[in-house]
Copies of this chain bind each other. A is one copy, B any other.
Amino acid sequence: MVEKVVLLICDGLGDRPIDELGALTPLEAAETPCLDRLARESECGLMYPLGRGLVPGSDVAHLAILGYDPQEYYAGRGTIEAAGLGILLRPGDVALRGNFATVDGGGIVRDRRAGRIRVVEPLVKPLDGIELDGVTFMVKAGTAHRAVVVMRGEGLSASVTDADPHKAAARLGRVSPRDNTPEARRTADVLNRFIDRASAILHDHPLNIERRRDGHAEANYLLLRGAGHYREVPSFRERYGLSACCIAGGGMYKGIGRYLGMTVLEVPGATGLPDSDVPAKFRAALRSLETFDFVFVHVKATDSFGEDGDFIGKKTFIETIDRAARVFESLPANTLFVMTGDHSTPCALREHSADPVPIMLRGSGVRVDDVVAFGERACARGGLGTLSGTNVMHHVLNILGRLPLAGA
């Protein structure tokens, strides 16, 4: 009987045929003997994370694949980023994610990542705990140039625009209300005041004085975006009766795990970058099966290579995943292995697309089909046919015998 699940999601895994790869996708072109063996023992399919015609953001795609319809459970990117840094919102809170950036005297964003500054903890310190008009600002450093800001106080709303112009050499925006409620207007106003206060503090911060002196880009501005709010979400255990853990390098993916009540495991070397220790993550997944029923493992760099248009890098990284995936060939008999992507990031587009992603389910009871390779086109002929992201947990729970009877 299948009782446990490993779900491996490779970010932006899907792609389009690339001439230089012999009209194959990076996944098809990669040498993946292990993934192909797994596919041979699997039921495969092609998954549209949000349905046809929708280009999935990674956050909503993950919610869908984990069985949480984004229409019902998505509360904004900031909410999930905050969860990734350990802050679960309370009702009334508003969370934003942000970058420390370099802004010149004329209000033009010169570098959205402040010279890819590596450590921002010292900059966060004097900002954390600022109070304005009854609102407390909690600021927490993320990886590299990233941070999260959580606003706590009466009468707030997440219905505000981004202050981030989303590109370099552009003029700074101000936060504006996105609807006509007093809450949205108040939030925009307080947030703009916070940003100005932070800007003044950052300008005179010793770290920036030092960076100015050394000729580095100053981290003198906090670009905020993706306001999110609290939403009540049943935990993975409440929803499915499964104890669950999350193994991820990227903050957002840890945030998804924590948002859904999973235990977020820290694996040394899991960076969410191309240098991430994929074998260590997969070994950790295997070990965590002793403690948890459901192990969600996330690998990020497939997406990053796609966004850089680096199809050789994407192909090579998939081969790294393949080598590490050998541990999944000898999973215990009570464990279902599921592998897919959260969306496609075609190297030719350098951004997410609505192209579907391959998926395979391997485990006892699965109707193994005749797909012999793990690839976009091979899986299109699989027994699962085409499915939506929210169908994935349907199939998983079905194999586990955990779906309720409809009717009688």
Query: Which residues does A use to contact B, with CB under 8 Å?
Result: 1, 16-17, 23, 25, 46, 50, 52-61, 70, 74, 76-77, 226, 346, 348-349, 351-355, 365-370, 376-377, 380-383, 385-387, 391, 393-395, 397-398, 401, 403-408
Contacts and interface: CB of A to CB of B under 8 A. Distances in A.
A226 B366 CA distance: 32
> Which among A56, A349, A368, A406 has the highest number of chain B CB atoms within 10 Å?
A406
Copies in the assembly, this chain: 2
Contacts of A57: 405-408
Contacts of A61: 407
A342 to B, nearest CB: 10
Contacts of A370: 377
Contacts of A394: 52-54, 354
Nearest to A370: B377
16 contacts: A17-B366, A17-B368, A25-B367, A52-B387, A53-B393, A55-B403, A59-B407, A226-B408, A351-B405, A353-B403, A354-B403, A355-B367, A369-B377, A370-B377, A376-B383, A380-B382
Contacts of A16: 365-367
A113 to B, nearest CB: 17
Given A367-B376, A403-B53, A354 B398 contact: yes
A346 B364 CA distance: 12
Contacts of A385: 46, 380, 385-386
A347 to B, nearest CB: 11
Contacts of A367: 16-17, 25, 355, 376-377, 380
Nearest to A54: B406
A382 B383 CA distance: 10
A77 B406 CA distance: 11
Contact of A381 (B50, B381, B401): B381
B46 A352 contact: no
A345 B352 CA distance: 39
Given A50-B406, A367-B355, A383 B377 contact: yes
Which 10 residue pairs are nearest across A and B when measured between Cβ atoms?
A: A53-B394, A57-B407, A60-B407, A385-B386, A354-B398, A77-B408, A380-B383, A16-B365, A57-B408, A52-B391
A395 B349 CA distance: 15
A403 B50 CA distance: 13
Contact of A391 (B1, B53, B395, B406): B53
Nearest to A391: B52
A377 B60 CA distance: 32
A346 B346 CA distance: 40
A376 B365 CA distance: 13
A408 B408 CA distance: 41
B365 A404 contact: no
A77 B407 CA distance: 8
A401 B354 CA distance: 9
Nearest to A388: B52
Nearest to A404: B55
B53 A405 contact: no
Contacts of A407: 56-61, 70, 74, 77
A56 B406 contact: yes
A393 B52 CA distance: 10
Nearest to A401: B349
A403 B52 contact: no
A227 to B, nearest CB: 11
Given A52-B394, A377-B383, A380-B383, 6 more contacts: A17-B366, A74-B407, A77-B408, A352-B405, A353-B401, A355-B398
